[in-house]
Structure 1
Amino acid sequence: MIDQLTTEEYNTYYRMYIQKATSANILEGLRERKQEFVDFISAIPSEKHRYAYADGKWTVLEVFQHLIDTERIFAYRALRFARNDKTPIMGFEQDEYVPFSNANQYTIPQLVADFEAVRSGTITLFSGFTEEMLTRIGNASGSPMSARAVGYILQGHQIHHFQVLQERYL
């Protein structure tokens, strides 16, 4: 299905994430990445949880919270698009979310529980979408976006942060 995705279904900003998606089947990709990320993040030593690789960069906990917040927002977008809601959806400022997330007050097990709940909800949501629903297009942040593009963006966004954590934090 990813090979059928057209550039009219997403803003080119998201191309990087879509290209990182590892599974053409959205549900398989979301399921596969779920446990992989839980295992990875759970193995990070506790002394690294509040570590940021440079001034002004997020901590490991903040990166994880960002991943969770973004998935919630994008799953909501997918729901609206799949239900043929044509009302434009405003964007969100990810950098404005972090200071108010209190992420550094949480533990990895708390965030893992939240991530697992959110990802399970996303999987349940996408499992109810028909092919027609997946191809419906709405508008987010002033650009067209399909429900299926959201599924690939979520896969790639998670992989992107997995790679950033490996390369810059560990």
Structure 2
Amino acid sequence: MTILDLQQDEYLPYFKGYIDQAEGVSLLSGLESSFKTIHSFYLSIASEKLEYRYAEGKWTIKEIISHLIDTERIFCYRALRFARQDKTDLSGFDENAYVLASGASERSIADLLEEYTLVRKATIALFKSFSKTVLISNGIAGSGSVSVRALGFLIIGHEKHHVNVIKERYLE
């Protein structure tokens, strides 16, 4: 299953940019390969860059990693609820408030990457457990409808988006 299988009504237009970042990969192989590539990328970043902010009020690289971990957990929670046919509308979340409360700056990169690894392994296991029928299940999250499979592709694309931001604004 690739993003070519997604219908536009499976996610909000706001998420199209993230979905497009997952182009060319299948869902499970994309989750697995992006983990390997991006984990190595995080390890390659010089330690002095991990606390760098390219402008006032912008997140550090450690905070971005923490944000990606939190967002992946939230997207998986949504996917699980929808996969289990829970029709409760789920609220959105304030990513800026989450980052402020994360304590990412006090954590080591090794600790953040260990958590990232465990979360991604759990994500892969969760999505492996879903049948094709379950993957097209949907529900309301935030301000609109999203399918289980779109949430998986959002995890991949959202992370690629932030890695591109790191490369362009933090490492050049």
1:25-46 CA deviation, whole Å, 9 max, x = no partner? Answer: 2110000000111100111111
When the two structures are superposed, what TM-score results if normalisation uses the length of structure 1? 0.98
Match of 1:145 in 2: 146
- Supply the RMSD in Å over aligned alpha carbons: 0.8
Counterpart CA distance in 2 for 1:19 and 1:42 is 26
Counterpart CA distance in 2 for 1:73 and 1:100 is 16
Counterpart CA distance in 2 for 1:22 and 1:115 is 22
Greater shift after overlay, 19-28 or 151-160?
19-28
Percent identity for Structure 1 against Structure 2 = 45
Aligned residues of 1:88 and 1:142 also touching (Cα < 8 A): no
Q: State the secondary structure of the residue aligned to 1:138.
A: strand
When the two structures are superposed, what TM-score results if normalisation uses the length of structure 2? 0.96
Aligned residues of 1:22 and 1:29 also touching (Cα < 8 A): no
Counterpart CA distance in 2 for 1:15 and 1:125 is 23
Runs of 4+ in 1 over 4 A off after TM superposition: none
**Structure 1 residue ranges without an equivalent (≥5):** none
Q: Does 1:101 align with 2:114?
A: no
1:110-141 CA deviation, whole Å, 9 max, x = no partner? Answer: 11100000000000000000000000011101
Counterpart CA distance in 2 for 1:155 and 1:98 is 20
Instruction: Return the letter of the residue paired with 1:70.
Output: T
1:128-163 CA deviation, whole Å, 9 max, x = no partner? Answer: 000000000111013000000001111100100110
